A and B are shown apart, each in its own frame.
Chain A
Amino acid sequence: MAVLKASDKTLSVRPSRRARRENLAAYAFLSPWLIGVALFLVGPIVASMVLSLTDWNLLYEPSWVGTANYQEMFSGDDRFFWISVGVTLRYAIVAVPLYLVAGLGLALLLNLKLRGMYLFRTILFLPSVLSGVAVAILFATLFNPDAGAINDVLRALGIHDPPRWLSSPTWALPAVIIIGLWGVGGGSIIFLAGLQNINPSLYDAASIDGAGPIARFRHITLPMLSPTLLFVLLTGLIGAFQFFDIAYVLGNGGVGGSGGGMGGSLRFYLLHMWLSGFSDGRFGYASAMAWLLVVVAGLVILVVFRTASRRVFYEEDPEQRG
């Protein structure tokens, strides 16, 4: 970033002809993205703010209702709104740290130099390229409470009354979190890449100074990995906010019953928004939900950045000073 700012300054001081032409050419190169941001990002955000103040079902002209949609959301008139917030928050609070720790642990394991490691990596990363739909369908059957393989195994282990999983309001969300654990290898690819970017001489130096494995992990691995941790944390949180595919298959038309699982136990925020819009035909209300999600996601990102910025360590990159 420092480089880019410096170049800004040179430009404004003496815009030579060549620099002006470069500037123009650069904006030509950037134009697909700039147009895309305007059309598919800024446009929809502004539009959803306006639409959220209306009542609209596509068939009639939208009618202005002021803040009625928001009042409905917050007053509890829409019972499922708070349920969906609760489901999504519980998922975010449990699943995001769990996948973070599991992904990091797995990456540490896969970073060991052992025979056959390439094969193990291949296997463990496999689920992360598979679709949420396929995974949901597979696990809906495995989690069948009466004759699914998972409860068969649990009964064989001596648990006589295993959970009813997706058919139970309490166990549906844990089941979904376990399903996510199956694909945790995706997160560890990123961690593994981060681990392999750490200069090995740091570990050698620490070992010479007498640092044990735990000290090396705490004082070298974690700080060197902190940008990766921040990235995984942020993308994980955003992913939790817009969790959809698995919830749709398990909770909507799919195996688990109608409209977000038993008692709304799988009615994630985005699924509720989707159902409000496309099932109930309430696009104004769904827009209000969308707008709220964008604002909350923005705030969460801001808070995470603020609190993390002091703890994240960026290694000096000589190339950057260029």
Chain B
Amino acid sequence: MTANSPASPADPIIVRRIRRVLGRVLVYALIFLLCSFILLPVAWMLTAALKPDLTPILTMEPEWFPTKYFDWNNFVRILTLESQPFLRFAINTVVLAGFNIVATVASCSLVAFAFARMRFRFSGPLFYLLIITMLIPWQALIIPQFLAFHAIGWYGTYLPLIVPAFGANAFFVFLIRQYMRTIPRELDDAARIDGASWFQIFRHVVLPLSKPVLAVVVVFTFIGRWNDLLGPLLYLNTTNDFTVPIGLANLAGRAGNAQYNLLMAANFLSILPPAVIYFIIQKQLIGGIASVGLKG
């Protein structure tokens, strides 16, 4: 698919070439415009984050790039802020994400293996159920879930934010299943002739070969947990346990105008981990989504 239309045979070569160059220029201009649309707000955020206290961050001429002020110290200040200690929040969030990653990878790969490689009763209906659970508006169920976790005394702990991950997320099961289906079945058969159990085939044959898709699941889980506001907001009640999104929302809620530089510093730091991870494994991420393919 190219942007320039195919020239009819009657067109002279020169006209065709001009058209092609013009098309290229237009496409590049459009891409440049779109990239500015994405990057300028981020650059503006950095500019605001580097301003000293009491310097207005809202200016009549928008200051898109940091030129005058470079208060890098703002980042240190926000990490150790007494009311919202963001370093603490970051550690909390990483710990939560770590447990979620372990639970998600363990449960989802087991379930995906059964769907990808095994024959069992009701596999058809259960697969439909898997697809349906992908589309359930989970957030609608927060009220009864909250009441249940509250009743068993888990309110104010990390347990409600970790334990459900052992229940296998349907989307990740589907993602891993699609990938496992591409691994040759002959490997299973060979292992079975050697007397391997199903779990051994899973653990020593299929799982090691599924590393690329598991990497995608790890990253998606990390980014999802790092960004999640609703779950922690529901279950955590002491500042020491808070996660980064809660800290940000609180800071935004009570920031006087004077604190906007710190708010933007916190905001800027908060987007760094997902952005960096995304840059590093961009290729696998996009490949991982491509492998879903959405064919039953």
Contacts and interface: CB of A to CB of B under 8 A. Distances in A.
Interface of A: 1, 4-5, 7-8, 10-12, 19, 22-23, 25-27, 29-30, 32-33, 35-37, 39-41, 43-45, 47-48, 51, 58, 106, 108-109, 111-112, 114, 120-127, 129-134, 136-142, 144, 146-149, 152-153, 182, 185, 189-190, 192-194, 196-197, 203, 207, 212-213, 216-217, 221, 227-228, 230-231, 234-235, 238, 241-242, 244-245, 248-249, 252-255, 270, 273-274, 277-278, 283, 286-287, 290, 293-294, 297, 301, 314-315, 317, 319-320
Contacts of A148: 58
User: Secondary structure of the B side of the interface?
Assistant: helix
Given A1-B127, A140-B252, A152-B60, A297 B245 contact: no
A131 B35 contact: no
B294 interface: yes
Contact of B150 (A1, A58, A221, A294): A58
A177 to B, nearest CB: 15
A309 B142 CA distance: 31
B208 interface: no
User: Secondary structure of the A side of the interface?
Assistant: helix
Given A58-B150, A133-B227, A290 B141 contact: yes
Interface of B: 1-3, 5-6, 24, 27-28, 30-31, 34-35, 37-39, 41-42, 44-45, 48, 56-62, 64, 106-107, 110-111, 113-115, 118-124, 126-127, 129-130, 133, 135-148, 150, 164, 166-168, 170, 173, 181, 197-199, 202, 223, 226-227, 229-230, 233-234, 244-245, 248-250, 252-253, 260, 263-264, 267, 270-271, 274-275, 277-279, 282, 285-286, 289-290, 292-296
Contact of A41 (B42, B61, B136): B136
20 contacts: A4-B124, A23-B119, A33-B111, A33-B167, A36-B168, A40-B164, A109-B34, A112-B27, A114-B27, A134-B227, A138-B42, A139-B41, A141-B48, A147-B56, A149-B44, A152-B62, A193-B289, A213-B1, A216-B1, A274-B142
Given A36-B168, A290-B141, A11 B38 contact: no
A242 B137 CA distance: 7
A216 to B, nearest CB: 7
B143 A273 contact: yes
A4 B140 contact: no
Contacts of B129: 37
B142 to A, nearest CB: 8
Contacts of B44: 138, 142, 149
B281 to A, nearest CB: 11
Contacts of A25: 118, 197-199
B116 to A, nearest CB: 10
Contacts of B234: 278
Contacts of A153: 62
List of 6 A-B pairs having minimum Cβ-Cβ separation, nearest first = A36-B167, A131-B227, A193-B290, A26-B120, A147-B58, A149-B62
B144 A137 contact: no
Given A112-B1, A234-B135, A29 B111 contact: yes
A203 B144 contact: no
Nearest to A19: B119
A283 B35 contact: no
B167 A39 contact: yes
Given A23-B121, A44-B141, A294-B137, A255 B252 contact: yes
A234 B132 CA distance: 11
